[in-house]
Structure 1
């Protein structure tokens, strides 16, 4: 080693020298205007001006995240963990260390972790037409509902009277988390970049801060324990129409995930899939966990036959996996899980009722209703020459809402039958005689349903979801079932209006001449659809009842046909226009809280219906007055589970 090299290796790093000497960790003689070391080496001295770069290191947080002990995942890369002591309306999951079996850390491949996210290549999933700031759930505090929408119109009366809600502290949510590897790399060297590159990097950092986006390459990693915590802190609230200790998807899962490998893998898969809303790289983890859960479930089936596990445990995992199947892929219908669930429930129906049977059976009715619109093999009609009588027993009072059906179990069952009737139509949209009679029976059953009043509902201890919200959803489900029946069988509606026996809230329907629409049926269906949207638009976006909204806004939104003529009275024109705005904004905003892919697919379906329904300026291209969301969904192969 030369004396010069020995000298430079022993000298300490200068803090006041030129930028080149500091980068090379050599002693600068600080000669001005250029140091002698740079001149001796034939290099241009960059001078002594202080180099500035953007940093989030000293940002001030409203609520500084609490420190936590490092997990095993942090020894190999970045890992993020929730504050388990954060205040929550529901109890937190038990300590994972006490559960059977170690909690394994889930890591992406090293190449995937090291690669920076290319934001230009990230799929927008509905962000492209957003008219306000998007929302991200608080990864530090489990409080989700305190969301302040950027658009004042959306945050005000349009969404309900929730002006007292406070906004999420997004700066504490999306502060860049630097991996240990990047810290070590920064400690070894600080590469110089051209001035224009620095400017571009600064601009990107500023915009990412402005949009509250995670910095590419510095997104957090998540261990298995983090995913389980995320399920209980966030996914429970969006997977049910209310969330409290009365929500079986919280309490039942909490009792089982420590002893049931399939349940543990399933809730981790759901957490990873939902996190992909905000960290696209988490989609791969969600898919991998789902694959592991499916394999584990297949091992549970022989154990069920051998009596080593219970049917209720297997059915719980099927419910979780089936209704979250579209979270990774909007075309994932989960029918393979439904087929297994059907077989198990048919066996259960032949035995005495167990303590969980009512919850499981109502959940299966909801699942069958959603599947009735997308199942590639429609259910066959009743055999015989006459439809059977339909008797729906009333629910006992006071009534406990169901996590999926809320207070609309009866309407949802009838809607499942309506979906089957619609799927059995021929190419001209006509139904058989027996289905025609069955539609009339279903309509009478809908009229016989008694929607409970708030005093008739058990207090389920969810301050974010009022009883009025669930009652509004029950009303809306009854109306969309009637809407589909009347569209496929118009004579039933015309007869009701003529006899004056329509529901009380539909008394405004009449057979009088309407100048806005050529067809009186179009006018009445549009008015029913507007009434449905008016019923649900008072439900705040933070309410758990929004879980029931997707199918409502798709069915009602697809009947919002604009008037055929320039109306002299703009009342119906403005009402339809405003209702369309509500539908579009609801689906857009819900795609921020709920999984984005299915919500975006539903919005595509509704917009395609509107495009075909609206009058065309070109005479050679007439509007398709018979356009139906179900036909378009199957024509375009946009099948999606709307729940």
Structure 2
């Protein structure tokens, strides 16, 4: 439990005294909890901030701005106060001549919560500044540097799916260090125990977003474009292999974060979900990767549907039908979401799940409906409700084990995102919900007409087309 906050040791405007004390208290009671995947003395956004805020005007205004953003849905009068407090913190931060761990911590807090105030503000300036400042710090034996380096890995993973590569300051060659492996691993408040996995998923995001933006540009076929596609395919294969080879530590090798709501197995499950999500993105955008691994005969495919392995084994060179490809992806996504579902909503990891929920939504395909026969019972006046809308008269969704599984999992996914509206600052989560619902709507509309385009609907395309990029955490 946090120590009740005391009055600031330096003067604050009289008009803010009452509100500021409430916001400081709320930060330590609620906001610090959602800003880490566990809450305990190991959570620096509670303990370190608690030690700094009284003597740091930047931290004082920063934590208040975060608390105000968390409360604006219930108290609209705070809507203008949050940005004002944030602006004060930024102004003070810009005046600092030298950056230390306190300044870097403020950059993480201000940048990571930019979307809390404006859902389309990705905090890119803060990310790039933090990376530039961090590169001046030595990572050798420097625990502070290791903490910030790992925080940027998670942050960049989120950004890689929602912003173009040119907007992110690149990591210098050789600047990324392999994960430090002590006898027991201490979970990081942002990456948990998935540092290397999230770094790989970040590279997946960069590759996929670049390819989808080129697809939207409708570039003509040229030798240069063909060469670029081949390079992208080769890179996708490298990332697939990296994700397949990743292994997570066993539970006994992870330090317990001392959060009753977040045992170690939650962090292990979350790491595996990140790995699977990265593979699913690659297999959706680069279907040939999956085709070369799927068996070409349907009997073998039937056996694989119940398989809980990370990916199929290398198979025949023969073509695999789009149906088999999509069916396997749906099965794998259902398994992955079952793993996520096993983590209780009370877990501290819930606040790090929105990206995963959105990234998996476009694999939840409801089987195409069958058109009713003219000789059969008339359905002219009937409709059938689905999780994303209503099938038109004259069609009914295929009733099968798969369609029931998908329908139920859609409800689980939608329910968890909706619940997060009441836990996290709602503006970014609302955009996540928009992406999911529109993705399903487009999939179902295409499926109703029997069009194969239903299999091509992808959440990132929906997000880009509607300008719904946001920080999904």
Fold match (TM-score > 0.5): yes
5 Å-filtered alignment, 1:217-366, equals 222-300=18-96, 303-304=97-98, 310-349=99-138, 352-366=140-154
* Residue 471 (structure 1) aligns with: 268
1:377 shift after superposition: 4.5
Equivalent pair of 2:446/2:454 in contact (CA under 8 Å): no
1:545 shift after superposition: 0.8
Equivalent pair of 1:378/1:424 in contact (CA under 8 Å): no
2:145 and 2:178 map into 1 onto residues whose CA distance is 17
* Residue 236 (structure 2) aligns with: 439
* Residue 604 (structure 1) aligns with: 434
TM-score (norm 2): 0.81
- What are structure 2's unaligned runs of at least 5 residues? 219-225, 371-396
CA shift in 2, pair 1:106/1:470, >3 Å: farther
Q: Which has the higher contact order (CA 8 A, sep 6+)?
A: 2
* Residue 190 (structure 2) aligns with: 404
Q: Secondary structure of the residue that 1:244 maps to in structure 2?
A: coil
For the pair 1:372 / 2:160, whether they are aligned, the reply is yes
Equivalent pair of 1:227/1:271 in contact (CA under 8 Å): yes
Equivalent pair of 1:612/1:623 in contact (CA under 8 Å): no
TM-score (norm 1): 0.61
For the pair 1:542 / 2:330, whether they are aligned, the reply is no
* Residue 642 (structure 1) aligns with: 472
1:395 shift after superposition: 3.6
Which deviations, in whole Å up to 9, do the C-alpha atoms of 1:148-168 show, x marking residues without a partner? xxxxxxxxxxxxxxxxxxxxx
- What are structure 1's unaligned runs of at least 5 residues? 1-89, 108-220, 305-309
1:254 and 1:235 map into 2 onto residues whose CA distance is 13
Deviates more, 1:435-444 or 1:400-409: 435-444
Equivalent pair of 1:246/1:460 in contact (CA under 8 Å): yes
CA shift in 2, pair 1:105/1:505, >3 Å: farther
For the pair 1:102 / 2:19, whether they are aligned, the reply is no
1:565 shift after superposition: 5.0
1:606 shift after superposition: 0.7
Root mean square deviation, CA, Å:
3.0
Relative to its length, the structure with more helix (as a share) is 2
1:355 and 1:444 map into 2 onto residues whose CA distance is 30
* 2:455 pairs with one of 597, 600, 625: 625
Equivalent pair of 1:518/1:564 in contact (CA under 8 Å): no
1:473 and 1:534 map into 2 onto residues whose CA distance is 12
1:518 shift after superposition: 5.7
1:369 shift after superposition: 0.9
* Residue 519 (structure 1) aligns with: 323
1:94 shift after superposition: 4.8
Equivalent pair of 2:204/2:278 in contact (CA under 8 Å): yes
Equivalent pair of 2:35/2:351 in contact (CA under 8 Å): yes
1:568 shift after superposition: 7.3
Which deviations, in whole Å up to 9, do the C-alpha atoms of 1:488-524 show, x marking residues without a partner? 2222223333399x99723796999xxxx96211111
Equivalent pair of 1:318/1:341 in contact (CA under 8 Å): yes
5 Å-filtered alignment, 1:135-214, equals none
* Residue 410 (structure 2) aligns with: 580
1:255 shift after superposition: 1.6
Which deviations, in whole Å up to 9, do the C-alpha atoms of 1:438-467 show, x marking residues without a partner? 221211111222122322211211111121
* Residue 92 (structure 1) aligns with: 3
Which deviations, in whole Å up to 9, do the C-alpha atoms of 1:607-639 show, x marking residues without a partner? 111111125487498754322111211111111
Which deviations, in whole Å up to 9, do the C-alpha atoms of 1:549-599 show, x marking residues without a partner? 101100111221111355877121111111111111001011001111111
1:525 and 1:106 map into 2 onto residues whose CA distance is 56
Q: Secondary structure of the residue that 2:126 maps to in structure 1?
A: helix
CA shift in 2, pair 1:568/1:639, >3 Å: closer
1:258 shift after superposition: 1.4
Equivalent pair of 2:27/2:66 in contact (CA under 8 Å): yes
2:245 and 2:450 map into 1 onto residues whose CA distance is 46
5 Å-filtered alignment, 1:475-514, equals 475-498=272-295, 505-506=308-309
Q: Secondary structure of the residue that 2:215 maps to in structure 1?
A: coil
Q: How many residues align?
A: 420
* Residue 69 (structure 1) aligns with: none
* Residue 529 (structure 1) aligns with: 333
* Residue 422 (structure 2) aligns with: 592
Bigger-Rg structure (1/2): 1
1:102 shift after superposition: 2.8
Q: Secondary structure of the residue that 2:422 maps to in structure 1?
A: helix
CA shift in 2, pair 1:504/1:451, >3 Å: farther
